[in-house]
């Protein structure tokens, strides 16, 4: 125990103390009775008065001795308790000083009453200079009023502890005037008349630098990915135009020459072979048009997003057998859509329909295309079997990733969820005026 006495001795002392007090009271009562008796009959017997006086002196001496002994024992016990208290406080101070995080305690006036070694190193301030000073000296001037209001509200609501700035980066001020980011938690103890607030701080400069570097790298990767997609889109546009213009014209000329020959060839084996060649040319022209449209539908540039989306949905429904319903407003609402925004929305629609045709086993699809609140809104929903969660996280699912990269680079959002009809719902929103980094087509 902190007093140094064995537990058994302390227990015995506690048990015998009531008996000692009772014996003292009984002795005092007997002395009072004896004094009355001596006064009553002592006039005729001087020796009785003398005996009474001697007895009083003896009792007085015993009482004084008991008081002195009790006082010495109380003083020794108090000294042991004070020593134990000092030892406990020293241990607590050593624990606080050994903490890796900075610990600062302030009173209701926000004056510092505790400042551990980690805080001294973090702020570059000796403990003697910090104790008694206002906490404001370690807070940047632009945050002091908000910090004081935060402490006052924390004291009023009665919470015992809370993380400070849960979704924000807090800033602290060193003695040399430099600022650095921190994360902090606050707790309080005491009543309304005397309350102490303790803040535990951690310097997150390195973590903040790493997070900022990671964000910059992610932004660079997003931009690189978007630029690659744009370059691919440009290449597809060039190839589509070459297929449509050059190869298409050559095939058309060849078809016209073949028709001229057929008119001059008599019926027979050669004429039959010419008809087969004409059918093959028709199939080739159709294939070239389809490949060119898949690469880059020229109507997207010539007629706009609404017509291109309508042609894509109609062509998909005809080839896949899925009953498609497209809901879109009048064309003038899409007049202000920039080329890169139209491309991103069109590719998102194309990828969604491709996934429906390949994986959904759907019978119906519903498509919504609109311009609302300065954004192009696209929703594609089907009644198929839905998309599993592992497919969304599949690193080889380049279609969905490409869709997200295009849209995110333009400041938009992509959401893929389950649909009320049991299939999959894809929601895409892209600003009509994208961020400067994605403005170039």
Residue 99, token pair as written in the block: 């903490």
**Gap between the Cα atoms of 100 and 97, Å rounded:** 8
Q: Count the helix, strand and coil residues of the chain and give each as a percent rounded to the nearest 5.
A: 60, 15, 20
pLDDT the model gives residue 1: 40
Cβ–Cβ < 8 Å for 425, 383: no
Q: Identify the burial level of 171 via C-beta atoms within 10 angstroms of its C-beta, where 0-12 means exposed, 13-18 middle and 19 or more buried.
A: middle
Contact 402, 361 (CB under 8 A): no
Amino acid 440: pLDDT: 37
| pTM of the full structure | 0.55
Q: What is the SS3 assignment for 434?
A: coil
- The DSSP bridge pattern shows strands 323-327 and 364-372 to be parallel
396 CB neighbour count, 10 Å cutoff: 7
Any long-range contacts for 220-226 (C-beta under 8 Å, 24+ apart)? 222/405, 222/408, 222/409, 223/409, 223/437, 225/405, 225/409, 226/405, 226/406, 226/409, 226/410, 226/437, 226/438
DSSP 8-state code for residue 134: B
Neighbours of 377 (CB within 10 A): 16
Task: Take residue 114 and report the two structure tokens written for it.
Answer: 């505790």
Segments of the chain with pLDDT less than 50: 1-5, 7, 9-11, 16, 438-441
Q: Classify burial at 304, counting beta carbons within 10 Å of its beta carbon; exposed 0-12, middle 13-18, buried 19 or more.
A: middle
Closest CA to 368 of 324, 415, 332: 324
CA angle 291, 294, 297 (to 5 degrees): 110
For residue 172, the model assigns a pLDDT of 92
């Amino acid at each position: 125990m902190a007093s140094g006495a064995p537990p058994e001795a302390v227990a015995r002392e506690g048990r015998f103390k009531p008996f000692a007090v009772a014996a003292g009271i009984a002795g005092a009562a007997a002395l009072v009775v004896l004094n009355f008796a001596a006064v009553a009959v002592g006039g005729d017997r001087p020796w009785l008065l003398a005996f009474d006086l001697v007895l009083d002196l003896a009792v007085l001496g015993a009482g004084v001795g008991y008081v002195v002994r009790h006082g010495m024992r109380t003083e020794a016990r108090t000294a042991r308790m004070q020593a134990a208290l000092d030892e406990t406080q020293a241990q607590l101070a050593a624990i606080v000083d050994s903490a890796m995080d900075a610990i600062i305690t302030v009173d209701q006036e926000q004056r510092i009453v505790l400042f551990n070694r980690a805080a001294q190193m973090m702020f570059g301030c000796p403990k003697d200079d910090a104790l008694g000073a206002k906490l404001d000296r370690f807070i940047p001037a632009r945050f002091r009023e908000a910090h004081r209001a935060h402490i006052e509200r924390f004291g009023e609501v009665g919470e015992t502890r809370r993380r400070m700035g849960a979704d924000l980066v807090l800033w602290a001020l060193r003695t040399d005037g430099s600022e650095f980011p921190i994360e902090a938690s606050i707790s309080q103890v005491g009543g309304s008349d005397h309350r102490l607030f303790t803040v535990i701080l951690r310097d997150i400069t390195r973590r903040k630098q790493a997070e900022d570097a990671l964000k910059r790298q992610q932004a660079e990767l997003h931009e690189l990915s978007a630029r690659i997609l744009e370059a691919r889109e440009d290449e597809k546009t060039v190839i589509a135009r070459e297929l449509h213009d050059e190869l298409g014209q050559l095939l058309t000329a060849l078809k016209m020459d073949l028709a001229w020959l057929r008119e001059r060839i008599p019926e027979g084996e050669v004429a039959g072979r010419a008809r087969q060649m004409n059918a093959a040319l028709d199939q080739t022209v159709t294939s070239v048009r389809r490949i060119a449209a898949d690469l880059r539908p020229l109507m997207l540039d010539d007629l706009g997003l609404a017509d291109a989306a309508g042609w894509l949905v109609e062509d998909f429904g005809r080839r896949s057998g899925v009953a498609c319903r497209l809901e879109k407003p009048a064309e003038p609402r899409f007049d202000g859509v920039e080329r890169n925004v139209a491309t991103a929305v069109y590719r998102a629609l194309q990828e969604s329909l491709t996934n429906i045709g390949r994986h959904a086993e759907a019978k119906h699809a519903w498509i919504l295309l609109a311009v609302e609140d300065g954004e192009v809104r696209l929703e594609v929903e089907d009644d198929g079997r839905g998309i599993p969660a592992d497919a969304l996280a599949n690193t080889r699912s380049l279609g969905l990733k490409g869709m997200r990269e295009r849209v995110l680079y333009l400041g938009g959002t992509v959401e893929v969820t389950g649909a009320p009809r049991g299939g999959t719902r894809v929601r895409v929103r892209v600003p009509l005026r994208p961020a400067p980094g994605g403005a170039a087509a």
